[in-house]
Chain A
Amino acid sequence: MTTSANGNNTYRPDAIIVGAGIAGMQSALDLADQGLQVLLVERESSIGGHMIALAKVFPTLDCASCITAPKMSASAHHDNIRIMVNTEVQAIRTVRGTHHVKLLRKATYVNFDKCIGCRLCEYACDSEYPDPFEAGLGARRAIAVPFTNAIPQKAVLNPELCTTCGSCARVCPTDAIEYDQQSEVVEIETDAVVVASGFALNSLNIKPQYNALQSKNIISALTMERLLAPHGPYGRVLRPSDGKIPSSVAFVQCAGSRDVSIGVPYCSRVCCMYAIKQAMLLSGALPIADITIYYMDIRAFGKGYEQFYQNAKAMGINFVRGKVARIDPIEDGDLNLHVETTEDAENILQEHHHDLVVLAQGMVPEWNPSLSTPVAVASDGFVATPMLTAPTSTTANGIFVAGVASGPKDIVDTIAEAGAAAMQVSQYLYQKRAAQEHVAGPVLVG
């Protein structure tokens, strides 16, 4: 499935998809189902992207992993899809319509061909570090399968924390541990590329007046997703600093976007809705807790979203209009929020006391392709999509974009756009090959 491309120079996929989140997987499946050969490249150790880590999705409150996991297995088991995890795109060079994609295959110190995912190495390992999949709340061993439903189910060794004690190699039934494995660079040719590299969140501390570094109880929305997920780090919602059950949770919206002073003027488009969703889930998980959302405008623009917002209000979730100006850590790990309640006539300056604060950080691009590929980015840093009538086209011929790589959007829009990108790729390949046959014809005759 993820065999090395080395020594297999004949492998030439029809399309390479950069990023195996929900957008990349959807594009890959839509192309593969048309009989095209697809290479799905992922930087992390598992496919699935951010979505596999989410608790539930808005506005239906469907279980996120129940939607993502089947897509992950479908991609992994598809005859026409090949997956490379722990792989980064280093550069794309386009020569006469052929894209030469240079890939860095990072060493995992585990031979994936031999590893059977039995996890004996993980159980034997003594070295632990904060689990990135659980937003640092749980622990992961230095050698481990990334998370329960990761695909591929292969152990990966973290060289930063490995003490090379040899325990894992001793217990491995298939001798898959290779301490001397090296990263390698491979170059693969293809006709089309889809950039589906997704997003990162900007720093929790991007607004210094929120003092996020001074309190463990000022958390990211993705951390809240893990707290809410049924298979999350604690199995219930506890606040990180002391494990207390929160009694008053605040959501601070626009904490990393729509803010020129931090260089992110655009709206991240999903924060209003996920805050409402998390607030609803919290009122189920913590029935007596007060939940407040501090917002500037509620942007409930999608199908069924406004109803979702109205339902949240009816459930008793507090909505306070006003941008939180400052968050001060106070005694017992609690937090004081300074806000002007802009809809009130009197007593507009308020200090609100909460014991857990979720910051709606801004979405920023995960990858800047303009540094090493022909794809240009727009002034906001996301991939530029200059053609209004072909929103998945980039500035480079034969390279397309899907999902958040071209700008913040929710899962619904991401999946629709991934399908559109796949359609554009297959159309592009069809036309390209038809033209080649047309050109080749007379040459053969002549």
Chain B
Amino acid sequence: MAHTIDVEMMEKIKKHGAGGKLDVSACFNCGNCTAVCPLAEDSAGFPRRVIRMAQLGMEKELLAQEDLWRCYACGECTKTCPRQADPMQFMAAARSYAISRYDPTGLSGLMYRSPTFNILVFLILSGFFSVLLLWHQGQRSLASNGGLFSGYGSTQLFRFIPGEWVHSIGIALFIVVGLALVFGFFSMTARVMGKKNQAGERRPFPVSALIPSIYSAIMDALNHGRFRQCGEDEALEAKPLLQRAWFVHGAIMWGFLAMMLATTLDYLLKPIGSPVPPWYPMRIMGLLGGLVCLYGLSIAISRRISAKETPYDKSSFGDWFFLLLLTFTVITGLVTLVVVYMPHPTTFGYITFMSHIVLAMDLIVLLPLTKFAHVVYRTLALVLHQWAKAPAPETAAALATHP
């Protein structure tokens, strides 16, 4: 089988590592990482073979490894690596490299490698959204509106920035982002499905198994089934449930989903800007989701700040950016929830509200370009992996007739 070699690839991947300190060239391929991994299966993609692909510059093969996304960074490999080549961080860097290669614009690569560019994009976007949101404000006279600080509740907030306007921009963003993700989605799917094994054969991907694969992958993403098996060593097991890595990640994800759901239902079921009491179900769902998400975020951030234990001791700028963006979005959202029920609107309230909308828009528009993209690629990888494992129709039929 012919291989096309990218001799620069290793150096490129290293640039996606935290602080440029990823020394994965030190790897001498002993296989400790794969053997110690609680999740590794007999497939090609677990740490050593992917590292080998990177060392040899086999880019096509590396980008076809859905297994990159089946690693949850428990850090067992890094703790026991004889060369301290940090396989866990390599897997993270390779994922980030893969995102940049699936993305046709090349923007995500720049975002990952250059913190300056990342911040610049963030500031420009935020400025752009602020101007866009305040556009209406400028056109209306404050006097005719009764001024910024008259009236009560969310009605006033939406008089400040009209709800329809927010939603229109939001939907437009979803379409743009959706298109960008579709490219990445198909890029990864084509590479993974085109992968050939040692014998030069593609895996079966029987059509009948597609729906069950999607179902099982989504269920796994929701309940963190595989993530729970990750890092089952005594040190991690000794931690109380609420502090285990999978639970912390789960809290962030479940909380985020609850907030998304609350926002969507709000949009669908409630006239925009109509005042509702605090015990309105969607408000309560949003509040609880926000608190759960904030709990996860606070643990994730404090572990990265103290940076005492693997895998929290080496965080890339991309890790920090996504975490902080999400945190500030959630905090401003929760504060806005409180502000709405204040008897007197304040400047602080308006600023918080606008910040929340701007940050949420940043979060969405940057989804394909930041670590946030893992929600798409990881789920897709789980689907493809499940799907590839399903027996080909003729094998399944044979199994059915000869149990």
Interface residues, chain A, with chain B CB atoms under 8 Å away: 207, 209, 254, 258-261, 296-297, 321-326, 338-342, 345-349
With A322-B30, A323-B32, A349-B34 as known contacts, state yes or no: A340 contacts B48, CB within 8 Å.
yes
- Asked whether, in the complex, the Cβ of B84 is within 8 Å of the Cβ of A324, the reply is no
- Decide if B243 is an interface residue (CB 8 Å cutoff): no
Question: Which of B35, B40, B83 has the most CB atoms of chain A within a 10 A radius of its CB?
Answer: B35
- Asked whether, in the complex, the Cβ of B82 is within 8 Å of the Cβ of A254, the reply is yes
List 17 contacting pairs A-B, 8 Å CB cutoff, sorted by A: A207-B80, A209-B80, A254-B82, A259-B82, A260-B83, A261-B84, A322-B35, A323-B31, A323-B35, A324-B32, A325-B31, A325-B36, A340-B48, A345-B198, A348-B31, A348-B34, A349-B40
Closest chain A CB from B160 CB (angstroms): 57
A231 to B80, CA, bound (A): 39
Which residues from chain A contact B33 at a C-beta distance below 8 Å? 325
With A260-B83, A261-B81, A347-B42 as known contacts, state yes or no: A296 contacts B36, CB within 8 Å.
no
Question: Which of A258, A323, A345 has the most CB atoms of chain B within a 10 A radius of its CB?
Answer: A323
Tell which of A261, A340, A347, A348 touches B80, judged by Cβ atoms closer than 8 Å.
A261
9 more contacts with CB within 8 A, not counting A260-B84, A297-B28, A340-B35, are A260-B82, A260-B83, A261-B80, A322-B30, A323-B82, A346-B198, A347-B42, A348-B42, A349-B41
Which residues from chain A contact B29 at a C-beta distance below 8 Å? 342
A345 to B43, CA, bound (A): 10
Question: Which of A340, A342, A347 has the most CB atoms of chain B within a 10 A radius of its CB?
Answer: A340
- Decide if B60 is an interface residue (CB 8 Å cutoff): no
- Decide if B101 is an interface residue (CB 8 Å cutoff): no
Tell which of B28, B35, B42, B198 touches A339, judged by Cβ atoms closer than 8 Å.
B35
Q: Using a Cβ–Cβ cut-off of 8 Å, how many residues does chain B contribute to the interface with A? A: 21
Which residues from chain A contact B80 at a C-beta distance below 8 Å? 207, 209, 261, 325
Question: Which of A254, A258, A325, A347 has the most CB atoms of chain B within a 10 A radius of its CB?
Answer: A325
- Asked whether, in the complex, the Cβ of B30 is within 8 Å of the Cβ of A296, the reply is yes
- Decide if B203 is an interface residue (CB 8 Å cutoff): no
Which residues from chain B contact A346 at a C-beta distance below 8 Å? 42, 198
A326 to B80, CA, bound (A): 10
- Decide if B191 is an interface residue (CB 8 Å cutoff): no
CB-CB contacts below 8 Å: B275-296 with A: none
Which residues from chain A contact B84 at a C-beta distance below 8 Å? 260-261
Tell which of A209, A254, A342 touches B48, judged by Cβ atoms closer than 8 Å.
A342
A345 to B40, CA, bound (A): 15
Which residues from chain B contact A347 at a C-beta distance below 8 Å? 42
- Asked whether, in the complex, the Cβ of A342 is within 8 Å of the Cβ of B36, the reply is no
With A338-B36, A347-B42 as known contacts, state yes or no: A261 contacts B31, CB within 8 Å.
no
Interface residues, chain B, with chain A CB atoms under 8 Å away: 28-36, 40-42, 48-49, 79-84, 198
Residue in chain A with minimal CB distance to B199: A345
A323 to B30, CA, bound (A): 5
Closest chain B CB from A93 CB (angstroms): 40
Which residues from chain A contact B198 at a C-beta distance below 8 Å? 345-346
A326 to B233, CA, bound (A): 11
Which residues from chain A contact B32 at a C-beta distance below 8 Å? 323-325, 340
Residue in chain B with minimal CB distance to A348: B42
Question: Which of B32, B40, B81, B84 has the most CB atoms of chain A within a 10 A radius of its CB?
Answer: B32
- Asked whether, in the complex, the Cβ of A349 is within 8 Å of the Cβ of B35, the reply is yes
A375 to B28, CA, bound (A): 34
Closest chain A CB from B397 CB (angstroms): 24
Tell which of B28, B31, B83 touches A340, judged by Cβ atoms closer than 8 Å.
B31
Residue in chain B with minimal CB distance to A262: B82
Question: Which of B31, B34, B49, B82 has the most CB atoms of chain A within a 10 A radius of its CB?
Answer: B31
- Asked whether, in the complex, the Cβ of A322 is within 8 Å of the Cβ of B31, the reply is yes
A325 to B82, CA, bound (A): 10
A345 to B49, CA, bound (A): 10
Residue in chain A with minimal CB distance to B41: A349
Tell which of B31, B40, B41, B83 touches A342, judged by Cβ atoms closer than 8 Å.
B31
A254 to B82, CA, bound (A): 9
Which residues from chain B contact A325 at a C-beta distance below 8 Å? 31-36, 80
A315 to B30, CA, bound (A): 25
- Asked whether, in the complex, the Cβ of B82 is within 8 Å of the Cβ of A261, the reply is yes
A348 to B47, CA, bound (A): 12
A5 to B313, CA, bound (A): 58
With A296-B28, A342-B31 as known contacts, state yes or no: A349 contacts B42, CB within 8 Å.
yes
Residue in chain A with minimal CB distance to B49: A348
Which residues from chain B contact A339 at a C-beta distance below 8 Å? 31, 35
A297 to B82, CA, bound (A): 14
With A296-B28, A342-B29, A349-B42 as known contacts, state yes or no: A326 contacts B79, CB within 8 Å.
no
A323 to B36, CA, bound (A): 10
Residue in chain B with minimal CB distance to A351: B35
A207 to B84, CA, bound (A): 14
- Asked whether, in the complex, the Cβ of B34 is within 8 Å of the Cβ of A340, the reply is yes
Closest chain B CB from A337 CB (angstroms): 9
Which residues from chain A contact B35 at a C-beta distance below 8 Å? 322-326, 338-340, 349
Which residues from chain A contact B34 at a C-beta distance below 8 Å? 325, 340, 348-349
A324 to B40, CA, bound (A): 15
With A209-B36, A338-B36 as known contacts, state yes or no: A258 contacts B31, CB within 8 Å.
no
A339 to B29, CA, bound (A): 12
Closest chain A CB from B4 CB (angstroms): 20
A323 to B29, CA, bound (A): 9
A325 to B83, CA, bound (A): 13
Residue in chain A with minimal CB distance to B85: A260
A326 to B42, CA, bound (A): 17
Closest chain B CB from A207 CB (angstroms): 8
Which residues from chain B contact A326 at a C-beta distance below 8 Å? 35-36
Which residues from chain B contact A340 at a C-beta distance below 8 Å? 31-32, 34-35, 40, 48
A442 to B32, CA, bound (A): 70
A339 to B34, CA, bound (A): 8
8 closest A-B pairs by CB: A340-B31, A325-B35, A323-B30, A325-B36, A259-B82, A340-B34, A322-B31, A323-B32
Closest chain B CB from A211 CB (angstroms): 11
Residue in chain A with minimal CB distance to B234: A208
A258 to B31, CA, bound (A): 14
Residue in chain A with minimal CB distance to B26: A260
Closest chain A CB from B172 CB (angstroms): 48
Which residues from chain A contact B79 at a C-beta distance below 8 Å? 261
Residue in chain A with minimal CB distance to B79: A261
Residue in chain B with minimal CB distance to A297: B28
A21 to B35, CA, bound (A): 39
A321 to B35, CA, bound (A): 12
- Asked whether, in the complex, the Cβ of B42 is within 8 Å of the Cβ of A342, the reply is no
Which residues from chain A contact B31 at a C-beta distance below 8 Å? 321-323, 325, 339-342, 348
